[in-house]
Structure 1
Amino acid sequence: MVEFAVVIALFLLILFAILDFGRLGYNWVSTEKAMQRATRIASVRPPICANIPLHHRREEGTSAEYPAGTLCSANNGICQQVNRSCRLSEPNAASLEAQAAAVEIFDLIEPLLPQGATSANVVLRYNYDRNLGFVGGPYVPNITAELVGAQNVCGTQDPVEGDEDAPRYPLFCFEFMTPLSALASTAGAANADGIPTGDGTNAARIPFPDISVTLPAEDMNLGTRG
């Protein structure tokens, strides 16, 4: 009985660790698939966020210098740079198409998201890329879908590469569902940044992996004269 009492605690710890980290791995893979699906749909739908132009506007020069059809990559600053981001729960209120697209995206990715995630936890970014589009043509930014947190409990994401001014959203929290969290807390598993580690009433939380997927928007229109 004494030997059993000593061994069973270690056995249960390993068992619970396998279950919880298995959940973490499953949620990681399914969330990545959800972001791939969200980005793919967003790339062929009207912009979800507000204040995104439908066409590439001329930033500098005249129509004689840079006529309609001039590639944005022909020179720096030809096309106006527009970068926007918004949560899927905040579609452009002035556009019924944007609202419908936001609902469509979330309906298709909801089964793949971690438990407790809502449309407020999905951010879409529209970032200008000078290698895409032409003056007067449809605005074709790079579109990124990312899972974020509702509040800054588990830290914040790293700055977006190539766009240091982009908003930094909080990381999504993964919650342990088994006694592993209580055992870890008892062993002193406290986060240096103050991330909750379980207090007997709430499960411990850790930052969920920063998962994002980027695709260029698809240009399937004829454009308009710039």
Structure 2
Amino acid sequence: MIRPHHRIARFGHDEDGTTLVEMAIVLPIFLLIFLALIDFGRLGADHAMAQKAMERASRIAAVRPPACPGVPTTNLRGGSPSLLPFGTMCDAAADLCAPVGRITCPGDARNATAAEIWGLIGPILPPDATIANLSFTYDQDEALGFLGGPYVPVVTVELEGVTFRFVTPLAALATLAGAGNSTLPMTLPMPRMSVSLPGEDLALGENG
């Protein structure tokens, strides 16, 4: 007969099941790290693709008709008293060409240029992105045009308001790993990104 104190001693040295306990402790931490690497890798890839999409969008916008209403097609004479002839660079005298300033508008599928750009870049942006997340800006630059010639602004395409969504339950895994009631978000706002290029002729791809 095994005496009680011997049984207690044997129980204290029995290691059956310790591997299972250790795995239960380590597994949530391992899964948290592994799945976080996957999701943050997706975040990096989405950011890189969005930046490349903006580069492509600005290149197209620079050689297409304006995506915003009100962008002029010609540099008209401004209020300068100078009688410099047509063909003179706009920066040759103050207010030689009529001031236009900055014109900005959101992406609109009813505009042919915005629709063309969205059709090309939409598939590589995060699923929640829409054409309304794009904005187009046309800034006057007197060094780019001449009096009576085509209006050539600096064209900027910007992406903002896009949200990245995590696909793995990081908050639940963090809680299992001992982080208490984790409040890790399931979404993350992506940073605003934009690309600017000097316009060409804002026509159909012809060199200005």
Normalised TM-score (structure 2): 0.77
2:131 aligned partner = 119
1:4 aligned partner = 23
2:12 aligned partner = none
What secondary structure does 2:87 align onto?
coil
The 3 A distance-change label for structure 1 pair 107 and 90 is closer
Q: CA deviation at 1:65?
A: 2.3
2:121 to 109, 113, 121: 109
2:193 aligned partner = 211
Give the Cα separation in 2 of the matches to 1:175 and 1:132. Answer: 42
1:38 aligned partner = 57
- Contact 2:80–2:93, Cα closer than 8 Å, also in 1: no
What secondary structure does 1:105 align onto?
helix
**RMSD of Structure 2 on Structure 1 (CA):** 2.4
The 3 A distance-change label for structure 1 pair 2 and 31 is same
Q: Highest Rg: 1 or 2?
A: 2
Give the Cα separation in 2 of the matches to 1:123 and 1:82. Answer: 16
1:77 aligned partner = 95
- Contact 2:80–2:95, Cα closer than 8 Å, also in 1: no
Counterpart AA for 1:213: V
The 3 A distance-change label for structure 1 pair 132 and 189 is farther
Number of residues of Structure 1 aligned to a counterpart in Structure 2: 181
What secondary structure does 1:19 align onto?
helix
- Contact 2:67–2:107, Cα closer than 8 Å, also in 1: yes
The 3 A distance-change label for structure 1 pair 25 and 69 is same
- Contact 2:126–2:163, Cα closer than 8 Å, also in 1: no
Q: Give ranges in structure 1 of 5+ residues lacking alignment.
A: 92-98, 150-171, 191-196, 199-203
Give the Cα separation in 2 of the matches to 1:27 and 1:136. Answer: 44
The 3 A distance-change label for structure 1 pair 48 and 181 is farther
